[in-house]
Amino acid sequence: MGSTVTHLEAVQAARKTVSGKIERTPTRRIAGSDLDPRLDGLELVFKCEMFQKTGSFKIRGVLNKLASLSPEEKARGVVAMSSGNHAQAVAFGARMEGVPAAIVMPSYAVQYKIDATRALGADIVMCESQDLIATYMRTTQERDAVAIHPFDDPTVFSGAGTLGLELLEDAPDLDAAIVCAGGGGLLAGVATAIKSSKPDTRIVGVEPEGACAIRKSLDAGEMVTLSSVDTIADGLAPPFTGEHVMERVRQYVDDVAVVTDDEIREAMRLVIERLRLVVEPSGAAALAGLLTGRVGVSPGDVVGVTLSGGNINAERLKQLL
CB atoms < 10 A from the CB of 319, how many? 10
Active-site residue, selected from the candidate residues 47, 53, 58, 113: 58
Pseudo-torsion of CA 107, 113, 115, 116, nearest 10°?
-150
Instruction: Return d(Cα 250, Cα 303) in angstroms, integer.
Output: 21
* 308 is an active site residue: yes
Q: Are 177 and 165 in contact (CB under 8 A)?
A: no
Instruction: Return d(Cα 224, Cα 61) in angstroms, integer.
Output: 24
| Bridge partners, residue 302, by sequence | 43
Of 214, 298, 284, which is closest to residue 252 (Cα–Cα)?
214
Active-site residue, selected from the candidate residues 56, 82, 83, 308: 308
Crossing angle of helices 261-270 and 281-292, rounded to 10°: 100
Q: Are 249 and 256 in contact (CB under 8 A)?
A: yes
Pseudo-torsion of CA 178, 181, 184, 187, nearest 10°?
-10
* 83 is an active site residue: no
The catalytic residues are: 58, 308
